[in-house]
Structure 1
């Protein structure tokens, strides 16, 4: 008899809409959820002076306490009310620090020096990628950092139905390099099985 967990039946199929994510959080089907703070982020926070960070598409928000404990002024957001409710219950997190809003439309409370990317780019259809990159660039001042995890793969992986949506390294660089300069990259040692082999830790700087 198979021991695999059955995938729930879902009504909503468009990951560009909040209802898609609401349904998955409600049924606790979140295979992208990494309950521990990634090692690469821990190392980054140990080395980087504390400043102001935005965490869009924060999901469960496990990283929010890590930023707060490191002294960062932190604002997280998600357009899933269920995700926001979970993130607000993370240890030491004020409800006011997690906003239920569409990242493309809401105005953050401050100008960030860092935007933390966990699994936003790989959660949206490819057609929305330029819009997300433009929004990152709009919110970050020159010299600001975009740091986090990017899901790369070959053309076959990039053609798969998502989410997660893979992107080739060539396409990722073509997307970001007009507005950002790559400062650091590494292969995370603690990727989830869902992202294994394709995830990259990267730090990009706004031109």
Structure 2
């Protein structure tokens, strides 16, 4: 009987280790230095977009190492970065060098005043598809009317992610009718894990959309 309990506990632990909706999944990867999604720099499309934005409140959920967070703060944006992985926060703390910009928090549990824009960088594709509807609803809650959701979206057939790819029609289902797309172009970031299948997109929160 004790052996059966031990085997059951081991199976549960292994299942949790493969569930990317849990912080433990990402802690393991950051602790082992397995972060192929980390560009180690600020992406070109992001920088061009952010340079055009007025200084405002910006959220970077699932911030990872946080290069973009530091870049935004240096240019006067009121940026806030969150990640639910303590190991990711530890890495970001070294890159950003400013603890006041960082919080260990769950994106889905946030309940706070709306942001002027949110930066999406490998958060959606890191999450299991069963959580995507909640991702879309939370984006609508956290972005003010007229505000923007800007970032990179992974378009692919990869059901065994992460990264989990999705097609354009699915992304539209997640964001419409609360948002309208105002920019869409291929990404030039060139990270091997995404193999040229990312697109840079900007979605505007509609004034009359309900949350």
TM-score by length of 1: 0.88
Q: CA RMSD in A?
A: 1.5
Aligned to 1:186, the other structure's residue is in SS state strand
Give structure 1 regions of 4+ aligned residues with deviation exceeding 4 angstroms.
Answer: none
Higher helix residue share:
2
The equivalent of 1:181 in structure 2 is 180
The aligned runs of 1:103-182 (5 Å cut-off) are 103-108=107-112, 110-153=113-156, 157-158=157-158, 160-182=159-181
Q: How far did 1:134 drift?
A: 0.5
The equivalent of 2:9 in structure 1 is none
The equivalent of 1:100 in structure 2 is 104
CA contact (8 A) 1:45 1:70 kept: no
Q: How far did 1:190 drift?
A: 2.0
Q: Distance in 1 between matches of 2:127 and 2:61?
A: 13
Higher strand residue share:
2
> Which runs of 5 or more residues in structure 2 are unaligned?
1-12, 207-211
The equivalent of 1:79 in structure 2 is 84
Q: Distance in 1 between matches of 2:136 and 2:203?
A: 12
Question: Is 1:42 aligned with 2:47?
Answer: yes
CA contact (8 A) 2:188 2:196 kept: no
TM-score by length of 2: 0.87
CA contact (8 A) 2:124 2:135 kept: yes
Q: Distance in 2 between matches of 1:145 and 1:36?
A: 22
Aligned to 1:141, the other structure's residue is in SS state strand
CA contact (8 A) 1:152 1:167 kept: yes
Aligned to 2:204, the other structure's residue is in SS state strand
The equivalent of 1:195 in structure 2 is 194
The equivalent of 1:26 in structure 2 is 31
Q: Distance in 2 between matches of 1:107 and 1:98?
A: 16
> Which runs of 5 or more residues in structure 1 are unaligned?
1-9
Instruction: Please list the CA deviations of residues 51-84 of structure 1 after superposition, one character each: whole Å capped at 9, or x if unmatched.
Output: 1100000011111111112211010000000101
Q: How far did 1:103 drift?
A: 1.1
